[in-house]
Every structure is written in structure tokens, then in C-alpha cells.
Amino acid sequence: MHIERDQELLHGLAANDDKSLETIYLENFPAIARMVMQNNGSEDDAKDIFQEAMIVLYEKVQEGGFVLSSRLKTFLYSVCRRLWLKKLQSSSLSAPLFGELEETTAAEDALEAHLERDRQFKQMEEAMGKIGEPCKTILEDYYIHRQSMQDIAERFGYTNAENAKNQKYKCLMRLKKLFFAPYK
Amino acid sequence: MNDIHLIQEIERYLDGEMSAPEKEAFESLRRSDSAIDRQVTEHRLLLQQLRANGMRKDLLRRMDSIHAKAEIPVAPPALAPVVPLRSRRRTWLNLAAAASIALITSLATMAIMQNNAKRSYTSKYEDVRRVLNNIQRSQNALIRDISKNNPPLNPGTYGGTCFAISRNGFMVTNYHVIAGADSIYIQNNKGEAFKAVSIFEDVSSDLAVLRVADSNFRTPALPYSLKLQPSRLGQEVFSMGFPRDEIVYGMGYISAQTGFNGDTLAYQVSIPVNPGNSGAPLLDNSGEVIGIITGKQSSSDGIAFAVKSGHLKRLLDELPKEKFNRRDLKQKSQLGGLNRVDQAKKLEEFVYMVKVYN
């Protein structure tokens, strides 16, 4: 059954299982590449579009509660199609219109949510870019890669973990200020 | 608790590292202190986004390493035949749509311009009687009529203002307020309503005299008198009327000796008037009636017109002497020398809302 297999792959994707990611990637990329390249796109365009669609999918399953209403293939295809169409329209006025295909509302909803997430992603990237080093790496190491304060202290040459903690606290406050600045 | 410690506690709380009693204590702190609660929310958002960024970048890295293995299809020829056909048809459709929009826009503009041009001649002057009910209400009334078979309280069709000119129920208002009326009720500021009939109408000066149907109707002595000498430019004036269900005071000054289009029967007054002010008395500082508000210039704000009191006098001279006691208006004004608040308070009793049903 396709649906069951798709669900399993999505569970794997949510759990950061490399095998599932690879399977989804390799099975779906060629179709997307064909679609993009048939519509004035290059190989690199195809890669960008497909990877963005994968991000949409990944963040959707990470969020939890994502129920696939169609086949995974169809979902990815329609997300990519929309993304590509949008890119064509923004780059030139004479966007070619390629053949209609079954539209999935799931793709539409996912893209809408993606737009907001993308905005926040960029905002965080910008804030992280502004806080500079060593703040950026300290925060990444501690919060994203979940390294211990002890390891971080050693790596950055702090005499003890307490000093590193103080530094991390200052970095975090700066990041917080920068990240929330547009909201205030 | 210093800030570093607080952040540490928040992180332990968010990561679920607190023991049950610790968690409970922290949650009650959060509930009692909104500043801390906000910090927790912000911190959670911040860390969520920080980690989401990390995960997204990690995913991209992983995908890039997979991408090397991906099979890239040979670039196929573009699907040429479908595209141009569709787009050409679309071009025609767009052109047709654009053309029709342009046509409609220009026709609409022409219509509006013509309409406006016409209106600019005819409607510079507007009555200030108030349209009280709307279609919605009359429809409701109809529905009630059919279903319950008890007549609804009709709120009246038009409204204006009138004021007493004698102690036994003679009132003066604008002709256009009561024109075509089936029945007329007047209501004072206390909410007491009286049936009235129109006994004299003068279309040329736009004045009408009403009489309260109840022959026992009596008011206290009128506090104002009628001023017969023309008022001068710049004379400060005030008025009270019913643009709404509550009596409303307004003040201004005589801005010209003639009314709309040089009408010598009227003054131009700079005073705020609204629909419903028609028929309101216009008084000067010493509390003498110098005119009756009739309308305003629709094209500009703050320009109102009032029929001069001399014309009211002429009208009153024609009323039957045995019923209408002229002396009521010839008493010395009791409003002179009072401050405006007291003047308004005294005047209020003698100004009525006119409700017209037709």
C-alpha cells in the first residue's frame, strides 16, 4: 500500500532518519527536475525548488499532526509546482503556464504556513548574523548541538564553565533583543 | 533571583528538567508574575526558532550530500505546443477584459460627472428635517403586523423641531417638516407627547403653525419674545433643536443678512445644524427670537439659514385673535441678563420635537 509506506517514510523524516530522507529524496527528485526543466528551469533551479519543498514537508511533519491526504509524490509535486510558478512569475511577466494537474489543498495550506516560517527563519538568521562570534557558535553549540557548557568552555578557552555560562547568557540576551526587535 | 538564574530556571522548565514540586512552584510564580510569564513565552519562542533554524540548515546539509546520488534526467525538450496556445488565448482574454473594464469605467465616469453637474444646480440647499425610519424598520413593522396582529409603535417618518408661541399650545415650525403629514405629534424633552394639528401653513416663508389638539394644554409664561428689528451682522445667536431624540444646543453668529441665493426673508447663520433642526428657534444674546432655522447649504459646512422673525410676526397676525393670544409673545424676555446655561435651561421647556407620520 502506497499510503502506508508514505506514512512510514514521513515518520522517519520527522525522526531525522537519514535513510527515510534519502529514499524520499531520490524517489521524488527526478520527477520534479523534469517538471522544472521542461518549464524553463535549470538543474540548479530544480534542486532549489525541490529542497525548499522538502523543507516545507520536513517542518510540517516536525510540527506534528500532519496527515497526508494524497500520495507523498502528489503532495511534493504540487508544492514544487506552486513554488516554481511563483518564482517564474516573480522573475518575468511572461510566465509559461504548464498543464493543470490535480491540486491538493494540503499543498496550498502547507505553503501558506511555510511563508510565515520562512519569514521567522530569515529573521533568526539575521539576528544570528548580527550577534557575531563567538556568540553565534556558542549559542549554536549549546542550544542546537546540545554540547555541555564544560566542552564549550574548553573549546573557547574560558577558565571555567561558569565564565562560559555568563558569556552565553550575554549572547542570548543580545540575540533575544535582535530577534524580537521587529515586533516591538 | 538574578537574571542568569531566572533564564536557567526557565530553560530547565522548558526542557522538562524540573521535578514535580519545582515545576508546580514555577508555574504558580508564572501565574502570579506576568513579567516572568512573558519572559518564559519569549524564551520558548526564541529557542524554538533557534533550533528550527539549526534543523533546517542541518536538513539542507543532509540533502546536499544525498543530492550527489540523485539521478538527473536529461533535459527534455520543453512542452512547446501547449504553452503558446494557452498563452495566446489568454492574451486575447486579457485584452478583452481590459477593454471592457475601460469601457465600463469611462461610461461610469461620464454618468457620475453628469449626475454631479446636475446636482450642483439643484441641491445646494437642503432641508434639515430628519428621516426617522428606514426601509428595514418598516419591513420589520410589516412582519410584526402580520404575525402578531398588534400594531407596532411607529417611530414616525420625519422629525423636526417646533417651539411654543403662546401658552395655550400654539407652536411654530417649518412647513417642510409637516408637509404631507397624516398626523403630527410633538414631544418635549421629558418625553411627554401631544397630538398636534397644523392650523396655518405658509409655503413661501416655509413656516407652519401647529396647535396642540388638547385644548387644556397650558405652558408656563413664555420666557422669550419676538424681536422685530432686523439683527445685525456678527450678532451672536444660539438655538436648541432635536437633531436626535435629545435636545441639542448650538451656537453661532449671523453671517449674512440674506439667505440662500439672496433670499431677503432669511438670515445666513453660521451654526452647526443637522437634520432634525428644522423649525428650531434662533435666539440672540438677550433671549429674543430672531428667526427659525430652516435649512443649510449642502455644499459647505456650517452655513445654515433661518427665516427672519418679522415674517413669523406677519404670519401670527393672520391667526384668529380669539384663540391665539398675541400678548404671550410680547412679554419682556425673561432670558436677558441670564448666563447661557440658565437661558438654555429655561428655553428647553418650550422647544418640542415634531414627529410626523405619513
| Euclidean distance between CA atoms B358 and B343, whole angstroms | 35
Span B35-82, pLDDT tens digits: 888 888 888 888 888 888 888 888 888 888 888 887 777 665 555 434
Boundary of a domain, candidates A76, A111, A146? A111
Q: Which domain holds residue A61?
A: 2-111
Q: Could you tell me the pTM of the whole model? A: 0.45
Q: Flag the least confident range among B40-54, B149-163, B185-199.
A: B149-163
Which of A18, A143, A166 is facing B50, going by the closest CB pair? A143
Instruction: From residue B163, give the alpha-carbon distance in Å to each of B174, B187, B272, B352.
Output: 11, 11, 19, 6
Q: Are residues A99 and A165 in the same domain?
A: no
Residue B136 has pLDDT above 50, yes or no: no
* pLDDT of the residue at A103: 56
Q: Are residues A105 and A143 in the same domain?
A: no
Asked if the B115-358 domain carries CATH number 2.40.10.120, the reply is yes
| Euclidean distance between CA atoms A80 and A86, whole angstroms | 10
The answer to whether the Cβ–Cβ distance between B7 and A175 falls below 8 Å is no
Residues in chain A closer than 8 A to B3 (CB atoms): 169
Residue A67: left (phi > 0), alpha (psi -120 to 50), or beta? beta
Span A58-91, pLDDT tens digits: 888 888 777 777 788 888 888 888 888 888 877 7
- A116 within domain boundaries: no
Which of A97, A120, A145 is facing B83, going by the closest CB pair? A97
Domain ranges of chain B: 3-59, 115-358
Q: How many domains does chain A have?
A: 2
Span B244-302, pLDDT tens digits: 888 889 989 999 888 877 788 888 999 888 888 889 999 998 888 999 998 887 767 77
Boundary of a domain, candidates A81, A111, A141? A111
| Euclidean distance between CA atoms A51 and B318, whole angstroms | 95
Q: Are residues A145 and A98 in the same domain?
A: no
Residues in chain B closer than 8 A to A33 (CB atoms): 72-73
With vertex at residue A105, the alpha carbon angle to CA A94 and CA A99, rounded to the nearest 5 degrees, is 35
- A118 within domain boundaries: no
Asked if the C-beta of B55 comes within 8 angstroms of chain A's C-beta atoms, the answer is yes
CB B301 within 8 A of CB B314: no
Q: Are residues A62 and A9 in the same domain?
A: yes
Which of B51, B73, B86 is facing A143, going by the closest CB pair? B51
Q: Looking at residues B203-221, what average pLDDT do you find?
A: 87
Q: Are residues A37 and A75 in the same domain?
A: yes
| Sign of the torsion formed by the C-alpha atoms of A173, A174, A175 and A176 | positive
Residues of B with active-site annotation = 176, 206, 278
- A123 within domain boundaries: no
What one-character-per-residue DSSP string does B96-153 give? HHHHHHHHHHHHHHHHHHHHHHHHHHH-SEEE--EE---HHHHHHHHHHHHHH-S---
